[in-house]
Amino acid sequence: MPDESAPQLEVFTSFETLCLGAAERIAHAARSAVYNRKRFRLVLSGGETLRALYKRLAEDYRDRIQWPQLTVFFSDERCVPSPNAESNYALAAGALLSKVPIAKRNEHRLAGELDPESAARTYEKELQKECPTVDDPAFDVLLLNVGEDGSVASLFPGSAALDEKSRWVMPVRAPASETTAERITLTLPILNRAREVILIAAGAARSALAKRVVSGDAAAAKLPAARVRGLERTVWLTTANDKV
């Protein structure tokens, strides 16, 4: 029998169909969560790749998801004011959250405008209040955008944050190639408490990386993205062509 805990790979013919596939997965998980637990905890991430998915959810799934039952968190944030174009919250708010009937009190954003250490500590307390039972899943769906280097959230290859065992949220520095160095990120101890992890790996380089991870490549297994696993399922969504 196949190992259901092993990461799965879904290859789509285009980026548009990938977004549709991801949206369907989120909608299905939301329906199941609301039916069984009366609420749905969703973790959003940043990146231009996800903007198209957020727009799809806002436009085509506005009446197909019970948005008032959702609680939204963020995997990471850049240390900039929320209106800033680099802000993950600003991206999600503009493309999705402002377009659907979700209560402001159910949006839990990382305060990138604050001192990074203070913001991390504050968000960790917020998460502990919302997800107090350590033996239960903290989130229903964790949505992650995979970088070409195998990064997810603001966990980059070689980061000391990858070895964190106790803190759920911490400040980190991105590589010099990134536009905003100062970041705040969730860590593996809390990222690995989602029922379902959806990793978006669109484009040629990310597609190749996804295939390496799912095939069990030893080097790829050390990358941050490969170290995030859902409690019930982990799925990599990628495209069959180079265009995104």
pLDDT, residue 83, reads 84
pLDDT, residue 21, reads 97
186 pLDDT band (50/70/90 cuts)? very high
Determine the average pLDDT of the residues in 28-50.
93
pLDDT, residue 148, reads 94
pLDDT, residue 3, reads 58
User: In 167-177, which positions are buried (b, 16+ CB within 10 angstroms) versus exposed (e)?
Assistant: ebbbbbbbeee
> What percent of the chain clears pLDDT 70, i.e. is strictly above it?
96
Class of domain 8-189 (CATH, top level) = alpha beta
pLDDT, residue 1, reads 41
Q: How many beta carbons lie within 10 A of that of residue 132, not counting itself?
A: 9
pLDDT, residue 243, reads 58
Determine the average pLDDT of the residues in 5-26.
94
Could you tell me which residues come within 8 angstroms of residue 151 by beta carbon, excluding any fewer than 6 positions away? Answer: 157, 223, 224, 225
- Reply yes or no on whether the pLDDT at 232 is more than 50: yes
242 pLDDT band (50/70/90 cuts)? low
Please give the Cα distance from 176 to 152 (Å, whole number): 16
Residue with tokens 């809390």: 190
pLDDT, residue 244, reads 54
Mean pLDDT for the chain overall? 93
Determine the average pLDDT of the residues in 51-80.
96
Amino acid at 197: V
Residue with tokens 């991870």: 213
pLDDT, residue 133, reads 78
Q: In what side-by-side order are the strands of the sheet with 169-173? A: 76-78, 182-186, 169-173
Range among 30-44, 181-195, 229-243 rated most confident: 181-195
Model pTM score: 0.95
- Reply yes or no on whether the pLDDT at 2 is more than 60: no
